[in-house]
Amino acid sequence: MYIVPEKEIGGLMDRAASFEAVQSVFAAMASKDAYNFPVIREAIGHADALYGFKSGFDRKSLALGLKSGGYWPGNEAKGMTNHQSTVILFDADTGKVKALVGGNLLTALRTAAASAVSIKHLAPKNAKVLGMIGAGHQSTFQMRAAVEQRDFEKVIGWNYHPEMLSRLEDLANELDLPFEAVELDQLGAEADVIISITSAFAPSLLDAHVTGGTHIACMGTDTKGKQEVEAALVARATVFTDEIAQAISIGECQHAIADGTLTQSDIIEIGAVINGDHTGRSSDDELTLFDGTGVGLQDLAVASSVVDLAIKNGVAIEVDF
């Protein structure tokens, strides 16, 4: 088997390769060539951690395996990222373990790629203002990937902890974009694309905040009970997701489903848009929302790419196992 340590991932995987891997696997999911197994995610009652497994199989690429990991909110104070994950890949023909891959950077890259895929396929073509809600570890990956999809002229941002907004401002400046810290009503009115990436358990962005033909990528809600936007906003939008089963159980859709304002049949898999089976946005005035719950197949897709690159570049550690 091969080991690809976390420290090697940055030198191997980039945003373009992550985007391609994620876009392909979303398409394979919609055409039923790939499927995710049920997710296990538990509050373990220690260190405030959420821990679990995401897994699946892609019959097209033969990616088989799982990502083990979760979210340890106290890690940043210890100089570590709050997300800790590892991907294990198996040989689909024999079941033999194939590779052990560091999953921290890959998680950020594949999550940013997912919202970027949604922006590519669903955002208004002439989107100019990017609205960011959340200024944590994932937020900079999200912004970097998003700005590659449209000719944004400005970034506006809001965060529950305003002192963290300098992280967004610094990156916007690095990307040669002006940045403004705003309140949520201004963000909802001005932004053409909104990315929400927080660990919240109560909505920040309300239905009344959002006007016009906006695309919203809700990327933070990946666990039962979490919520970033008001359920009425989800109910009003044309809703797309990576996987419907996850959207209704652990994604942003769970709340509108629970209050009966959204039904499962209202939700469209983004892969159907990628495959050309759904038109996606139908007008500039439409409100579209992508519920990016984060599926195991995304992890397997990017990890498989990394293993190939690591072998090619001579940095994969081969172990007789």
Q: Which entry of 7, 54, 67, 125 is annotated as an active-site residue?
A: 67
The CA distance from 309 to 12, in Å, is 6
Query: 3-state DSSP call for residue 291?
Result: strand
| Residue 102 interacting with ligand NAD (CB under 6 A) | no
| Residue 18 interacting with ligand NAD (CB under 6 A) | no
CA distances from residue 157 to 8, 53, 78, 184, 222 in whole angstroms, order as listed = 32, 32, 27, 8, 22
C-beta of residue 108 within 8 angstroms of C-beta of residue 136: no
| Residue 200 interacting with ligand NAD (CB under 6 A) | yes
18 Cα distance to chain centroid: 11
Give the residue at shortest CB distance from ligand NAD: 136
- The reply to whether 96 belongs to the active site is no
CA distances from residue 24 to 92, 149, 242, 300 in whole angstroms, order as listed = 19, 17, 12, 12
Q: Is 281 left (phi over 0), alpha (psi -120 to 50) or beta?
A: beta
Q: How far is the CB of 252 from ligand NAD (least distance, A)?
A: 9
Stretch that binds ligand NAD, among 17-25, 89-97, 155-163, 176-184 (CB under 6 A): 155-163
In this structure, the strands spanning 215-218 and 288-291 are parallel
| Residue 227 interacting with ligand NAD (CB under 6 A) | no
The CA distance from 249 to 115, in Å, is 19
Stretch that binds ligand NAD, among 11-19, 24-32, 194-202, 276-284 (CB under 6 A): 194-202
| Residue 71 interacting with ligand NAD (CB under 6 A) | yes
| Residue 83 interacting with ligand NAD (CB under 6 A) | yes
Q: How far is the CB of 320 from ligand NAD (least distance, A)?
A: 34
Whole-angstrom Cα Rg for the chain: 19
Site for ligand NAD, residues 258 to 297, rule: CB under 6 A: 292-294
DSSP 260: T
Size of the site for ligand NAD (CB under 6 A): 26
Q: How far is the CB of 294 from ligand NAD (least distance, A)?
A: 2
| Residue 107 interacting with ligand NAD (CB under 6 A) | yes
C-beta of residue 115 within 8 angstroms of C-beta of residue 132: no
- Residue 98 or 226 with smaller CB distance to ligand NAD: 226
| Residue 192 interacting with ligand NAD (CB under 6 A) | no
Query: Residue 267: which of 226, 298, 235, 294 has the closest Cα?
Result: 235
The interface mask with ligand NAD, positions 131-150, x = CB under 6 A, is ---xxxxxx-----------
Q: How far is the CB of 295 from ligand NAD (least distance, A)?
A: 8
| Residue 252 interacting with ligand NAD (CB under 6 A) | no
| Residue 164 interacting with ligand NAD (CB under 6 A) | yes
Bridge-partner residues for 240, per DSSP? 268, 290
99, two tokens: 């590779």
Query: Residue 138: which of 205, 82, 200, 67 has the closest Cα?
Result: 82
| Residue 222 interacting with ligand NAD (CB under 6 A) | yes
As annotated, the active-site residues are: 67
Q: Interface with ligand NAD by CB under 6 A: which residues?
A: 71, 82-83, 107, 111, 134-139, 159-161, 164, 197-200, 204, 219-220, 222, 292-294
